[in-house]
A = this chain, B = another copy of it.
Amino acid sequence: MTFEHLLATRTDNMNASAVREILKVASSPGVVSLAGGLPAAESFPLDIMDELPGTVLARYGARALQYDASEGFLPLREALVPHLGARGVITTADGVLVFTGSQSVLDSLGKVLISPGDCVAVEAPTYLGALQAFNPYEPRYVEIATDDEGLLPDSLDHVLAANRVKFVYLVPTFQNPTGRTLSLARRKQVAEILRHHSALLVEDDPYSDLRYAGDPVPPIRTLAPENVVYISTLSKTFAPGLRVGFCVGPELIQRWLVVARQGVDLHTNTFAQALSAVYISEGHLQRQLPRIIELYRPRQQAMLEALERHLPEDFRWTRPEGGMFVWVQGARGLDAEHLYHRCVALGVAFVPGKFFYVNQEEGIATLRMNFTAADPATIDRSIAVIGQAITEEIGARV
């Protein structure tokens, strides 16, 4: 028996199987993957986790295992207030909603905001997981142009003037996939443009705590609080397996997000929220974060040096001050997907950058490389392999 005829029409819009199929081999035994977006296992606070569940059960008892409010576990929402405040995002416990990872905020935003054919504005390139969250709601995407410093405010202004945009989706800090961070000057322009068009921005900020150099830049939310749904997560600073994300946004949007997620999963895992509440409120996060940064800084350094050492002169790449990714712009004519298969055969994987574009042909020659999941020596060896493969690709093409 087949049930093909039962599938909803929206599934036509959900088949991202190309990238999934391609990346399956990246997790094969013997392949070093610079493809994923995994935090290092060494970044997890395993020592703290020896104590944390006991503390949670002593403090909250059965409440940590029971059904809880769709809005989030109150002690976590309270703990998130100063955590967000330190970034300039001013809110109250009532103003924060907790979700099952920031992915689930994106899904619920899609559900309450996107009717089929509605316009969503995204950077080119943009976060693939956001497209996967929005696609089932059948939006039409409009791309906002970027340069080496990230989104171009003029392009945003033009896009908002020329289209009825439901919302703009940006990762302004250490963007996935490029690692780029929008400057304060551009953020101010973006805030002004949002206000001018009475537009809504979804500001996704999973990485800003992972800063290895330079000074923090305030979230766009701080510059246009009425126009921004600000999303963040504990996946990079505690543990992604706990699936704890959160958001602060305009009251009407927050109210609908709660309605939406009641149908999706009722509420976020109470035990994970209780662990997170204690992790933040007892100062564990503040103690762990410098360790994570000290772990990642040399990995990023190793990647940047290896790229310098092993990649052809006509290749360019970003030099982010934080985050998890470096973005490589190959020489004209490079087919990064073709290169990918050659590299995997040699035991190294990355993500062909075209999958981060709505119009994939724009990204044919680009590569996303993660530096958090491998140690410096492995990173150097892997980039050497990629460099060698590039030389062979180019040689084969000549």
Contact = CB atoms under 8 A, between A and B. Distances in A.
Interface of A: 1-4, 6-11, 14-17, 36, 38-39, 41-42, 44, 46, 49-50, 53-54, 57, 61-68, 100-101, 103-104, 107, 111-115, 118, 129, 132-137, 166-167, 198, 200, 226-227, 235, 239-243, 250, 252-253, 256, 259-260, 262-272
Contacts of A39: 66
Contact of A259 (B15, B227, B262): B15
- How many chain copies does the complex carry? 2
B107 A263 contact: yes
A82 to B, nearest CB: 24
Closest 3 pairs (CB-CB, A-B): A241-B270, A41-B62, A65-B239
Contacts of A115: 8-10
A384 to B, nearest CB: 27
Given A11-B256, A49-B53, A243-B266, 14 more contacts: A7-B112, A9-B115, A10-B111, A10-B115, A11-B112, A36-B67, A53-B53, A67-B235, A101-B266, A107-B265, A241-B269, A242-B271, A243-B268, A264-B264
Given A113-B8, A272-B271, A57 B49 contact: yes
27 contacts: A1-B227, A1-B250, A3-B250, A6-B166, A6-B200, A8-B112, A8-B114, A8-B137, A10-B111, A14-B256, A15-B259, A46-B65, A64-B241, A65-B240, A65-B241, A66-B239, A67-B235, A101-B266, A129-B263, A129-B266, A132-B262, A241-B269, A242-B271, A243-B265, A243-B268, A243-B269, A269-B272
